[in-house]
Structure 1
Amino acid sequence: MTYCVAMRLDSGLVFLSDSRTNAGVDQVGTFRKMTVFENPGDRMMVLMTAGNLSISQSIRQIIAERTTTGGKTVWTATSMYEAAQIVGEAVRTVYERDARTLREFGIDFNVSIIFGGQIQGERCRLFQVYAAGNFIEAHNENTYFQIGEAKYGKPIIDRVVTPATTLNEAAKCALISMDSTLRSNISVGLPLDLLIYEQDALSVTRFVTIDEKNQYFQMIRSTWGQQLKTVFEGISDPVWNASPDDGAKALSATNTNSQPVRVQPPHSMLNTNPNPAPLQTLAQQEDGNKQH
């Protein structure tokens, strides 16, 4: 499995991917999930993949080499939308060639893709491409995409990232999102690839491969956990059966009547003594025996 996230911001794009491909007890594999298609001054495009590695590699190779029936490639596409169509066509080509054989061996055609960048003459754009070759584009209402093990790293992005977020803030948020995923799922692992692209640069602006020795990522891992604990401890414990004046601390109030949905035991097992005697400790039992 894997985890990849990309963000489209007013100031550019952020891409982050892990590199784990297998996660068994005695089998851990790595393969870089991020590929850059760059012609400085003309275009800069990034492809990130999750799913079956052989499918992903085949798709990437076709994208790099193939010319469409209209004579277009990712190197000659006049818009990112047209380039995304070429990526979708590559996905369908691999499906038509390999899906049936894979299915005979019990293997699903499993691939997800994030594709984004900028071609001279238009703005930065970001797409998510599905296994059928269709795709959607990021807009201000949904400024990021995730593929792979997305659930663990989603909450922090939802709370922090907007189109106005700076590239450095978005990169920090992406790394925190990745750290949350690394802590919760063994199928995601280091090293990471982080690429920052500034609007209209038309070439890679900043790139780093992050391993376990990276000081900034280690700082995030320790600081984020400590800050979360501090915030957690700073939130008041709930007050049960509170008076209406207790305000935000009140989890339940005396003027409310909440009851669980109960299932009654069979009639033959109903407790005929609704007020059973209180439990006795061993010491109380010994005292009672001495009195007798």
Structure 2
Amino acid sequence: MTYCIGMRLNQGLVFLSDSRTNAGVDQVGTFRKMSVFENPGERMLVLMTAGNLSISQAIRQIVAEHIDSNGLSIWNVASMYDAARIVGEAVRTVHQREAKALADCGIDFNVSIIVGGQIGAERCRLFQVYSAGNFIESHDETTYFQIGEAKYGKPIIDRVITPASTLDEAAKCALISMDSTLKSNISVGLPLDLLVYEAGSLAVTRFVTIDEKNRYFRMIRDTWGEQLKSVFENMDNPVWDVAPGTDGRSLASCSTAGKPVRMTMPAQLGNTAQPTTPMQSLAQQVHNGRQH
């Protein structure tokens, strides 16, 4: 499995991916999920993949090399939309070639892709491509995409990131999101690839591969955990059964306590006396034997 995040902001783009493909007791695989298509001064695109590794690698190779009948490729299309379309067509090509053989072996055709970047004077754009080759684009209402193990890292992004967030804020948030995922899921693992792109640069502006020795990421891991514990400990515990409106910490007041849904005992078990179990009988016999 894997976890990848792509963010589109007013200032540019942020991409973060892990590098784990499988995790078992005696087998851990590491393959980098981020690929860069760059012609400095003219275009800068990033592709991140999650899902079946053989499918992902085949798609990436086709995207990098394929030229269609009109002479168009990822290296010369005029817009990011056309670039996303080329990625989608590569997905369909691999599906047509591989899906049946995979299905015969009981393997699903499983791949998810994030592709984003900037071409010429066009604004930065970000897309998510699905297994069918169709895709959607990020807008201000949805400033980011996640693929892979997304659920653990989603809450912090939803609470923090807006289009107005700075690139450094977004990079920090992405790393916290990744740390939350690493903490909760063994199928995501180091090292990480982090790429921060400043709009208008048309070249990679900042990139780092992060391993367990990276001092900033170690600080993120330690500080985030400590701060979460501190915030939790500083929040009041709930107060029960108080008069309405007398305490802002009230979880249940005298008038709103409610009642649980109670199930009805079958009529034939209406006797409330607890039946004696074989274990209770044996214990009682031992006890009586000791008394005698």
Superposed pair shares fold, TM > 0.5: yes
Partner in structure 1 of residue 189 of structure 2: 189
Q: What's the offset of the Cα at 1:268?
A: 2.2
Does structure 2 retain, via aligned residues, the 8 Å contact 1:68–1:86?
A: no
Say if 2:245 is the partner of 1:239. Answer: no
Contact in 1 for aligned 2:80/2:125 (Cα 8 Å): yes
Q: CA deviation at 1:257?
A: 4.5
TM-score, normalised with respect to structure 1: 0.92
Cα separation, 1, equivalents of 2:109 and 2:272: 60
Secondary structure in 2 matching 1:252: strand
Q: CA deviation at 1:272?
A: 4.7
- Indicate conservation of the 8 Å contact 2:13/2:124, yes or no: yes
Looking at structure 2, the residues matched to 203 and 225 of structure 1 have their Cα atoms a distance apart, in angstroms, of 35
Q: For 1:137-184, what per-residue CA distance to the aligned partner results, in whole angstroms no more than 9, with x for missing partners?
A: 000000000000000000000000000000000000000000000000
Structure 1 distance, partners of 2:195, 2:102, is 33
Which residue of 1 is the match for residue 251 of structure 2? 251
Matches of 2:17 and 2:37, distance apart in 1? 16
Q: In the alignment, is residue 10 of structure 1 matched against residue 4 of structure 2? A: no
> Is residue 194–residue 207 contact of structure 1 (8 Å, CA) maintained in 2?
yes
Equivalent residue number for residue 33 of structure 2: 33
Check conservation: 1:13, 1:117, Cα contact below 8 A: yes
In terms of mean alpha carbon deviation, does 234-243 or 79-88 score higher?
A: 234-243
The DSSP-based 3-state class of the residue aligned with 1:251 is strand
1:60 corresponds to: 60
Give the Å deviation of 1:121.
1.7
Q: Which residue of 1 aligns with 2:20?
A: 20
3-state SS in 2 of match to 1:177 = helix
RMSD, aligned α-carbons: 0.9
| Separation of aligned partners in 1, 2:228 and 2:222 | 10
Instruction: Quote the Cα distance in structure 1 between the aligned partners of 2:125 and 2:152.
Output: 25
The one-letter code matched in structure 2 to 1:92 is R
Between the aligned partners of 1:14 and 1:119, the Cα distance in structure 2 is 16
Aligned partner of 2:177 in structure 1 is 177
Distance of 1:272 and 1:147 partners within structure 2: 54
Contact 1:2–1:187 (CA under 8 A) maintained in structure 2: yes
Q: CA, structure 1 residues 31+272, in 2 after alignment: closer, same or farther (shift >3 Å)?
A: closer
Aligned partner letter, 1:208: V
State how far apart, in whole Å, the 1-side matches of 2:168 and 2:261 are.
49
| Pairing of 1:1-292 with structure 2 (within 5 A) | 1-272=1-272
In 1, distance between residues paired with 2:45 and 2:242? 57
Verify the 8 A CA contact 2:241 2:257 in the aligned structure 1: no
The aligned counterpart of 1:280 is none
Deviation at 1:233, TM superposition (A): 0.5
* Cα distance in 1 for residues equivalent to 2:127 and 2:58: 19
Question: Any unmatched runs of 5+ in structure 2?
Answer: 274-292
Moved more, 255-264 or 199-208: 255-264
Shift of 1:271: 4.6
Contact 1:8–1:143 (8 Å) recurs in 2: yes
* In structure 2, distance between residues paired with 1:251 and 1:271: 36
TM-superposed CA distance for 1:129, in Å, is: 0.2
In structure 2, the residue corresponding to 1:245 is in which secondary structure?
coil
Structure 1 residues without counterparts, runs of 5 or longer: 274-292
- Aligned-pair identity in percent equals 71
One-letter amino acid of the counterpart of residue 217, structure 1: F
Quote the Cα distance in structure 2 between the aligned partners of 1:259 and 1:19: 49
Please tell me the residue identity of whatever aligns with 1:241.
D
In 2, the alpha carbon distance for the partners of 1:270 and 1:220 equals: 58
In the superposition, relative to structure 1, how do residues 214 and 20 fare at CA in structure 2: closer, same or farther (>3 Å)? same
Distance in structure 1 (CA, Å) of the matches to 2:95 and 2:44: 27
Letter paired with 1:136? I
Residue of structure 1 in register with 2:285 after alignment: none
Q: How far off its partner does 1:246 sit?
A: 3.1
Q: In the aligned structure 2, how far is the partner of 1:254 from the partner of 1:58?
A: 64
**Contact 1:242 1:254 survives alignment (8 Å):** yes
The code of the aligned residue for 1:221 comes to R
